[in-house]
DNA sequence: TTTCCTGCAAATAATTTGCAGAACT
DNA sequence: AGTTCTGCAAATTATTTGCAGGAAA
């Protein structure tokens, strides 16, 4: 049975301790990335993370960020979602949520994953398919954009 | 009010006629792309379309394919969906369907859009968000992959 | 010290764009 | 003729990979 995933409110140090217990090394890059994610109020793309840590750690390379995001996801600390066009977005697994993305203005709304429980049941019953609402985004038109539509 | 969108069973010529009526030109590239889409049993990526028409029309450039897919979509003939990772997939608007994509094996299942009517109602009521089930894919694990899971 | 991690540079994959000439209508 | 398309080459965006040196445990 795997180590418990850090819960809401976990500090960067808690997450790093989790890594240590899993046998992964705690490096400057990982510390920087985890801090950036803990500080991020919501989700961030790989590039945004690289930019955010560039002030404090200018030498950390973008490829290191990508490699560590992948590793941190495999260790259960992070999850990522595809927003349709453009870059994937990452957030703490403890802070899991689904996304609604506006096709017109690009805004990404965070919504609780429970909203998909019914769809989940239907897809499983009819197709034997287990949906993963954290991994994809629902595209459509947000309320403000809809209201400025042509009549 | 826009011209009616070609219905199921439309031939390539019907679609091309539709283009003419909308004031768009009928060129070799567009004919080739529309034929490829009508012949496609399901959906195809831009690259697959470019490859498919390369035999009959070797000179048609990939960038022309991209430009025309965009134009044909704007004219209501085609729609595209994002499958998570990788390239977008196109199909005839008359043949509209949603997608379930397996995170493990990559298979894309085509499913009727009506499966999302309930989610649609919920998202609209709770967030004023109008979902577009043709434009995104539901990621998860398909039945065969699930059954070969570790216990 | 041994294995894992990192920077750097280059490679990929999926599109997009500028431009001058070619093709529809 | 006049506007729209197209090929070609180069630029973009997002991400991945090879390799040799550097750092955790």
The answer to whether A98 and A92 are in contact (CB under 8 A) is: no
Give contacts of B119 with chain A, Cβ < 8 Å: 115-116, 118-119, 138
Q: Which of A71, A91, A75 is nearest to A3 (CA)?
A: A75
Chain A residue whose CA is closest to B128:
A143
Of B129, B138, B141, the CB nearest to A109: B129
pLDDT at B131: 98
User: Which residues are CB-neighbours of B99 under 8 A, at least 6 positions away?
Assistant: B43, B81, B83, B89, B108, B109, B110, B111, B137, B138
CA of A27 to C1' of D19 (A): 21
Structure token digits, residue A141: 């038109």
Of B111, B118, B137, the CB nearest to A118: B118
Give contacts of A141 with chain B, Cβ < 8 Å: 129-130, 132
Minimum-distance residue to D8 (CA–C1'): B61
Q: What is the sign of the dihedral through the CA atoms of B100, B101, B105 and B107?
A: positive
* Nucleotide at minimal C1' distance from the A58 CA: C7
pLDDT at A148: 87
pLDDT at A47: 97
The set of strand D positions with any atom below 7 Å of a protein CB reads: 4-10, 13-18, 23-25
The answer to whether A81 and A99 are in contact (CB under 8 A) is: yes
The answer to whether A109 and A100 are in contact (CB under 8 A) is: yes
Pairing of strands A89-92, A44-45: antiparallel
* Nucleotide at minimal C1' distance from the B25 CA: C24
Give contacts of B150 with chain A, Cβ < 8 Å: none
Give contacts of A132 with chain B, Cβ < 8 Å: 103, 139-141
More confident residue, B12 or A78: A78
Q: Which of A57, A15, A5 is nearest to A37 (CA)?
A: A15
Pairing of strands B78-81, B108-111: unpaired
- Residue A91: which H helix or E strand, with range? strand A89-92
Q: Does B103 touch chain A (CB under 8 A)?
A: yes
CA of B37 to C1' of D5 (A): 20
**pLDDT at residue B151 is higher than 60:** no
3-state DSSP assignment of residue B77: coil
Q: Does A22 touch chain B (CB under 8 A)?
A: no
Is the pTM above the cut of 0.75? yes
pLDDT at A2: 43
Vertex B127: Cα angle to B87 and B137 (nearest 5): 20
Cβ neighbours around A17 below 10 Å, total: 14
Q: Which of A36, A96, A102, A99 is nearest to A65 (CA)?
A: A36
DSSP track, A99-149: EEEETTT--EEEE-GGGGHHHHHHHHHHH--EE-TTT-EEEEE-HHHHHTS
Contact A131 B111 (CB under 8 A): no
pLDDT at A11: 86
* Structure confidence by residue, pLDDT tens digits, A15-50: 999 999 999 999 999 999 999 999 987 899 999 999
Could you give the domains of chain A? 12-92 (1.10.10.10), 98-147 (3.30.1490.190)
Of A84, A100, A126, the CB nearest to B82: A84
Q: How confident is the model at residue A4 (pLDDT cuts 50, 70, 90)?
A: very low
* Structure confidence by residue, pLDDT tens digits, B89-139: 999 999 999 999 999 999 999 999 999 999 999 999 999 999 999 999 999
Mean pLDDT of A115-128: 98
Pairing of strands A78-81, A44-45: unpaired
């Amino acid at each position: 049975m795997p180590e418990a995933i850090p819960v809401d409110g976990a500090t960067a140090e808690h997450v790093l301790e989790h890594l240590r217990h899993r046998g992964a090394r705690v490096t400057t890059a990982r510390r920087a990335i985890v801090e950036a994610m803990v500080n991020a109020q919501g989700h961030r793309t790989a590039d945004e993370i690289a930019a955010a840590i560039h002030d404090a750690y200018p030498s950390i390379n973008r490829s290191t960020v990508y490699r560590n995001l992948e590793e941190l996801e495999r260790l259960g600390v992070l999850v990522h979602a595809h927003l349709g066009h453009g870059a994937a977005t990452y957030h703490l697994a403890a802070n899991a949520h689904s996304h609604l993305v506006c096709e017109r203005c690009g805004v990404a709304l965070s919504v609780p994953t429970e909203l998909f429980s019914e769809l989940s049941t239907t897809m499983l019953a009819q197709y034997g398919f287990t949906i993963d609402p954290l991994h994809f985004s629902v595209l459509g038109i947000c309320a403000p954009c809809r209201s400025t539509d042509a009549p």
